[in-house]
Amino acid sequence: MRYNNFVNRVFWGLGMEFSRRDILRFAGSGFLAGLGSRFLFAEDALLPPADGRPNVHFRREARWYTKSKDGSVSCGLCPLHCTVAPGSRGACGVRENRGGVYYSLTWGSPCAVHVDPIEKKPLFHFRPGSRVYSFAAAGCNMSCKFCQNWDISQAAPDEMPSRALPPSALVPLVKSRKIDIIAFTYSEPTVSSEYVLDSASLARSEGIDTVTISNGFIEEAPLADLLRVLSAVKVDLKSFDDGFYRDICSARLKPVLDTLTRLAAAGTWFEIVYLVIPSLNDDMKMIASMSAWILKNLGASVPLHFTRFHPAYRLKNLPATPLSTLSRARQTALAEGLRFVYTGNVPGASGEDTFCPSCGKVLVERHEYHIMNVRLKNVSRNKKEASCEYCGAPVPGIW
């Protein structure tokens, strides 16, 4: 069982008692939010596991696949395009061929739930200061050697304690807590796209926004379906080198770039996070090339976050990112013409703040995940920009 760290850290654990560590943690992030998460399913009626298997609560046929005469299926959800024989699963481990019909094993079965600030995702230009109800199901279509949440992203659904939470229960739950943003996060929501799609559709009808925190490794058709109901997306751009994607993540760069251009074309609000890993993707020439690509293909206003790597999973041999490297990355991207470039996982650094691209004044002052000050005017949920309180320059975002 590989889940213990994350589950103990985030979700239901193996009992309902609170440890001293829990109390301290919840005190830091909002005691009531933590309390609610912990007791979330204290009284829920667990559905019998599908096929008698623990933690697989629903039989839900997958979308985006085709059947073959020999009983195998071809998954069209992500660029890996798995061909899956009867009785087998795709590479992500959460989609299974049962007798020639393809099923999602994670639909309605989150293994982690928590209330976070939106800044933690991070989404800096999307409703700053909001609380977000965050959900994760097991699985990922990449296997990044540096994954911070490997204990759920690399787990099979059967291995992870999960609860039955179909969209018809998820959305009322979020509403009952007076929260109006849902995030599918922590692991990779792409591989559970049916669950995301159904939840986000229902949530939208109730006036609740849904955002995803994704690696962007998804095919065009499912992405288009999701973008009809998502309000914002954060994409991890892990490198600008295809060799890195192949060697470190078992994936490829181009499909992720394609996703970014599709997000821009669709007009969906999105932000990019680049985790800077010493010696692997911290070359400033590559960061300059990537920034130039973003400027040319996505525009100057896409927020770009350079975040600090901490040794994890299979890359415990590397040091944490020096603060000077993060600062150089930020300066490099700004010099290429990007207007909103941040540093992350560095509490107290000025790289957390939003500066007016025209007059240079601080417009949104942040400290860790807290909003200290906002200097914007003409704020409207229905517009994709507000104005600098000092000079009136437009500042893109859903503020």
| Token code pair at residue 354 | 């939003």
Q: How many residues bind ligand SF4 (CB under 6 A)?
A: 12
Residue 135 C-beta: closest distance to ligand SF4, Å: 18
Q: Closer to ligand SF4 by CB, 191 or 260: give it.
A: 191
| Token code pair at residue 77 | 């959800």
Q: What is the 3-state secondary structure (H, E, C) of 38-68?
A: HCCCCCCCCCCCHHHCCCCCCCEECCCEEEC
Q: Is 104 exposed, middle or buried (0-12, 13-18, 19+ CB in 10 A)?
A: buried
Q: Of 36, 56, 58, 90, which lies in the binding site for ligand SF4, with binding defined by CB under 6 A?
A: 90
Q: Of 55, 141, 149, 153, which lies in the binding site for ligand SF4, with binding defined by CB under 6 A?
A: 141
> Does 80 participate in binding ligand SF4 (rule CB under 6 A)?
yes
Q: Of 50, 56, 78, 156, which lies in the binding site for ligand SF4, with binding defined by CB under 6 A?
A: 78
DSSP β-bridge partners for residue 235 = 214, 272
Q: Of 33, 40, 56, 82, which lies in the binding site for ligand SF4, with binding defined by CB under 6 A?
A: 82
Q: Of 91, 229, 346, 364, which lies in the binding site for ligand SF4, with binding defined by CB under 6 A?
A: 91
Which sign, positive or negative, has the C-alpha torsion 238, 122, 110, 79?
A: negative
Q: Report the candidate in 352, 360, 357 with the shortest Cα–Cα distance to residue 338.
A: 357
Q: Closer to ligand SF4 by CB, 139 or 303: give it.
A: 139
Residue 253 C-beta: closest distance to ligand SF4, Å: 16
User: Which residue of this chain has its Cβ atom nearest to ligand SF4 in the complex?
Assistant: 90
Residue 62 C-beta: closest distance to ligand SF4, Å: 8
What binding mask, one character per residue, do residues 157-196 give for ligand SF4 by CB under 6 A, x or -?
----------------------------------x-----
Q: Closer to ligand SF4 by CB, 139 or 344: give it.
A: 139
> Does 349 participate in binding ligand SF4 (rule CB under 6 A)?
no
Q: How close are the terminal C-alpha atoms of the chain, in Å?
A: 42
Contact 164/58 with Cβ under 8 angstroms? Answer: yes
Q: Closer to ligand SF4 by CB, 92 or 280: give it.
A: 92
Contact 364/379 with Cβ under 8 angstroms? Answer: no
Q: Which listed range, 13-21, 44-52, 90-98, 266-274, lies at the site for ligand SF4 (CB under 6 A)?
A: 90-98
CA dist 23 and 19 (Å) reads 6
CA dist 364 and 126 (Å) reads 12
| Interstrand relation of 73-75 and 65-67 (parallel, antiparallel or unpaired) | antiparallel
> Does 249 participate in binding ligand SF4 (rule CB under 6 A)?
no
> Does 383 participate in binding ligand SF4 (rule CB under 6 A)?
no
Residue 200 C-beta: closest distance to ligand SF4, Å: 18
Q: What is the 3-state secondary structure (H, E, C) of 317-350?
A: CCCCCCHHHHHHHHHHHHHCCCCCEEEECCCCCH
Q: Closer to ligand SF4 by CB, 253 or 363: give it.
A: 253
Count Cα atoms within 13 angstroms, Cβ side, for 200: 24
| Interstrand relation of 376-377 and 362-367 (parallel, antiparallel or unpaired) | unpaired
| Lookup result for tokens 């759920």 | 152
Q: Which listed range, 89-97, 276-284, 357-365, 369-377, lies at the site for ligand SF4 (CB under 6 A)?
A: 89-97
Q: Closer to ligand SF4 by CB, 53 or 81: give it.
A: 81
| Token code pair at residue 163 | 């609860």
Q: Is 158 exposed, middle or buried (0-12, 13-18, 19+ CB in 10 A)?
A: middle
| Interstrand relation of 269-276 and 304-308 (parallel, antiparallel or unpaired) | parallel
Contact 215/235 with Cβ under 8 angstroms? Answer: yes
Q: Which of residues 57-76 bind ligand SF4 (CB under 6 A)?
A: 75
Residue 88 C-beta: closest distance to ligand SF4, Å: 10
Q: Which listed range, 15-23, 80-88, 294-302, 387-395, lies at the site for ligand SF4 (CB under 6 A)?
A: 80-88
Residue numbers at the binding site for ligand SF4 (CB under 6 A): 75, 77-78, 80-82, 90-92, 95, 141, 191
